[in-house]
Every structure is written in structure tokens, then in C-alpha cells.
Amino acid sequence: MSTPEAGTRSGNSLVSDTLVNFTRWNRKLLRNPTSFLLEIVVAVFSLLLFSAVFGEVGAFALQQAGYVGIDYITFLLPAVLMQATMGSSFNSGIGLVKDLDSGMFEKTVVTPMSATAVFSGKAVSELLRIVVQLVIILGLATVLGASIDLGISGALGIIAVCLLVGLLFMSIANIVGLLARDEEALNAASMLFMFPLLFLSPAFIPLSSDIELLATFNPVTYGVDAIRALIVGEDVMTVLTVTRFGGLLNTLVPAVGILLAMNFVFGSLAVWLLGRASSTEGQ
């Protein structure tokens, strides 16, 4: 063993520290890919199930709502993409709770790595996980008959919107995780968020006026509308009427703006809570 005075540290940088944490979380995912794969299966299964069960009702509802030339399966695609994204995001909170439980959180805090690097490395790994899932789901959905009018650029746009929603729910999952500090509670919370929010949005059928007010405050509404606009290439915004940008931008610009604002609010809260946990974990 070399002498302790020699100083074998090469030092830490934001980039290298982020990479170290990114690698750790990727390794953990590869070691235990069950939930990753299950989330894809559930999404594709939902797509098949909902289009089989609601297919005819859905087609009728679409006709009533004035959607022309869209298959129900294509209409449904944003719903399963949102479902997969939200489900995947909650893993961020579960990873955090496990680290708090196992002492790895404290152990990481006590290293010379910056907290920013620790949490962004983890977040980037979790966003990458979502991207891979979305690519697979989009591929399978296309095989099953869904179509994206805007092609590859549309698909890239869809992934970008999903990441905004993913980041938002990652913040929420981390906030719940830090407050509850319990994996079971977090799992329950993910269900509590996911299904009401999906149903209180235009995800499965065109939005009914009964829930329009609730849908206005639901981030999933903006995710679904933005994705749908990118799929059909038109303005499909349900809860707001914006006309100044033209075409599908009338949906995309306000939806993305609102998602960014929500990300700012919940992201700041999550970062603040994480910072507080890092500096007072000993208590």
C-alpha cells in the first residue's frame, strides 16, 4: 500500500463526477432490467387492450369530436407513451429511497463529488432509460398500425415532449420519496398519480367538457396534446385556444411552455429538498 501522504487523488470535475454516477445507475439498470422491460410490455399491452376494448367506441367518439382519418390506435399512442414515461419516472424516486435506506445516499454525500453531479448523473441515466423505452414502444406501435405523419422528426419531437413530462414526474417522485422515505408508499403514490391524471386528460378519448377544468391543471393534458399534435401534424390543443403561432405550433408552443414552467416549479422544490437532505442526512 502506498503512503497516505502521497495523495492518490486526481481530483473531481463536474463532468467526470456526473459520468461516475451515470455509470453507476446504468449498471444497476442492466443488472436488474425486469421493471424496465415490464414497463415496455405494459405499454404495448395497453395499446392492444385499449384499442380492442374501446376500438369501436373510440372510433365513434373520434368522429363526434371531428377527428378525421385517424385510427383509434394512432389516437391512443400518446396515452401509452405518457403512461410508460410516468411509470418509468417514478423509478427515480424508488432509486433515491433505496439509497436512503441502504446508506448509499450518505456514503455518496460524504465523497468529494458535487451534489449537482450526483443527482444529474442519476437523472441523465433515468432519462436515457425513458428514451430507450419510448423508441421501443414507438417501433412496436408502428408495427401494430399506429402512424406518425411527421415521421422521424415527429418521433424525435415526441421523445422530447415525453422527456419534459418524465423530468416533471421524476421531480415529483423525488419529492414524494424524500417526504415518505418508503418504497411502498412511493409505489402507491405512482398509481395515485398515473391513472387519475391519464383519465383526466384527453389521453384515451377526446376530452369531455365535464373534466375540462381539471384537465387544464393536469400536466398530462399538455403532454398528450403536444404528442398528438406531432403525430397528426395539426393543432389539437384541448384546453386552451392559441392561434398566434399557426398550425401544430398553436399546440406545441403553449404545451411545451406550460410543461417547462411546471418543471421549473417542481424541479426547484426537488433540488431544494435533495440539497437539504444532503446537508442534514446525519440527523
Partner 1 sequence: MSDDSLHNTEHERTTTETDKEDSSRAVAVKDLWLTYADGTEAVQGLSLAIERGEFFGFLGPNGAGKTTTIKILATLLEPTRGSVTVNGFDVAKERTAVRGSIGYMPQETSVDEELTARENLRFACGAYGVPRGDRDDRIAELLELIDLADVADTPAAQFSGGMKKRLDAATALVHDPQLVFLDEPTTGLDPKARNRLWDYFQRINDAGTTIFLTTQYLEEADALCDRLSVIRDGSIVADGSPKELKRRVGGETLKLEIESGSDVVDRACKISRQSDLFEADATVETTGETVRITTRRAREQGSKLLVKLQESDITVTGFDIEETTLDDVFLAIADESVAELEGGHA
Q: CA-CA distance, 31 to 276, in Å (whole number)? A: 30
Binding to partner 1 (CB under 8 A) within 58-117 occurs at 102-104, 106-114
Among 14, 15, 27, 191, binds partner 1 (CB under 8 A): 27
Tell me which residue has cell 421531480: 171
Residue 20 near partner 1 by CB under 8 A:
yes
**How far out from the chain centre does Cα 179 lie?**
20
Tell me the closest approach of the beta carbon of residue 128 to partner 1, in angstroms. Answer: 17
Please give the single-letter amino acid code of residue 236: V
Do residues 254 and 159 lie in contact, with contact meaning Cβ atoms separated by under 8 Å? no
Tell me which residue has cell 429511497: 97
Tell me the closest approach of the beta carbon of residue 121 to partner 1, in angstroms. Answer: 10
Residue 4 near partner 1 by CB under 8 A:
yes
**Of 15-23, 45-53, 130-138, 210-218: span binding partner 1 (CB under 8 A):** 15-23
Distances, alpha carbon 57 to alpha carbons 47, 53, 62, 64, 74, in Å? 15, 8, 9, 11, 15
Q: CA-CA distance, 25 to 122, in Å (whole number)? A: 6
Residue 142 near partner 1 by CB under 8 A:
no
Q: Which is nearer to partner 1, 18 or 51 (CB)?
A: 18
Contact pattern from residue 224 through residue 253 relative to partner 1, giving x for each residue in contact according to CB under 8 A and a dash for the rest = ------------------------------
Residue 34 near partner 1 by CB under 8 A:
no
Tell me which residue has cell 456514503: 107
Among 14, 15, 23, 57, binds partner 1 (CB under 8 A): 23
Residue 273 near partner 1 by CB under 8 A:
no
DSSP string, 144-209: TT---TTHHHHHHHHHHHHHHHHHHHHHHHHHHHHHH--HHHHHHHHHHHHHHHHHTTTTSSPPPG
Tell me the closest approach of the beta carbon of residue 8 to partner 1, in angstroms. Answer: 5
Residues forming contacts to partner 1 in the complex (CB under 8 A) are: 1-6, 8-12, 16-17, 19-20, 23-24, 27-28, 31-32, 102-104, 106-114, 279-283
